[in-house]
Amino acid sequence: MKNNNVNRKIAIYPGTFDPITNGHLDVIKRASKIFDKLIVSVAINLSKKPMFSTIERVEMIKEAVKEITNVSVDTFSGLLIDYCKENKAFILIRGLRAISDFENEFQMALMNRKLDKNIETVFLMPSEEFTYLSSSLIKELALLNGDISNFVSGFVNKKIKEKIKC
């Protein structure tokens, strides 16, 4: 099945990334090896109340991926499938950490497919050492003075500490 309106080699990895963790980075590295171009896109206007602004989240992702040449960082608002169309991309990357992720991811993937039959969601499993990570858990740990240095980059660690001091 050929669709000339879409570029099959561009993948989009959408998420809140509040902030990016080593688990997200693991997924980004895996996807960047499979696809020609990967766009990591920060969702704005979500019901979530992020600790970091969109600009800060983008800055942290850019710092994390600066050595991966085929990865770019962007933002989107509104429907994800519309953003995919704008970028002529039909592959969505999502990380699957554990069975508990499955139900929500399954619903999103099928809804996106229902909204646009060209959209294909590809699930990648991060390394097992990251399967229990989430951005909320890291923020909670940092707020309680826990050591988060194994879970985020030095840059993100510094940004979280600055944010907590404010």
CA 69/CA 88 separation, integer angstroms: 20
In the complex, the smallest distance separating the C-beta of residue 12 from ligand COA, rounded to whole angstroms, is: 9
In the annotation, is 97 catalytic?
yes
Torsion of CA 75, 77, 80, 81, to 10 degrees: -110
Determine the residue with CB nearest ligand COA: 23
Nearer to ligand COA by Cβ, of 68 and 108: the residue is: 108
Residue 51 contacts ligand COA per CB under 6 A = no
CA 84/CA 141 separation, integer angstroms: 34
Amino acid letter at 21?
T
In the annotation, is 135 catalytic?
yes
In the complex, the smallest distance separating the C-beta of residue 95 from ligand COA, rounded to whole angstroms, is: 3
In the annotation, is 32 catalytic?
no
Binding mask 104-143 for ligand COA (x = CB under 6 A): ----x--xx-------------x---x--xxxx-------
Nearer to ligand COA by Cβ, of 14 and 60: the residue is: 14
Strand, helix or coil for residue 30 = helix
Nearer to ligand COA by Cβ, of 37 and 101: the residue is: 101
Q: What is the DSSP letter of 98?
A: S
Contact predicate 39/84, CB 8 Å: no
Q: Annotated catalytic residue: which of 30, 57, 94, 97?
A: 97
Query: In the 3-class helix/strand/coil scheme, how is 108-130 assigned residue by residue?
Result: HHHHHHHHCCCCEEEEECCCHHH
Token digits of residue 112: 């996106």
Interface with ligand COA by CB under 6 A: which residues? 14-16, 18, 21, 23-24, 27, 43, 79-80, 95, 97, 108, 111-112, 126, 130, 133-136
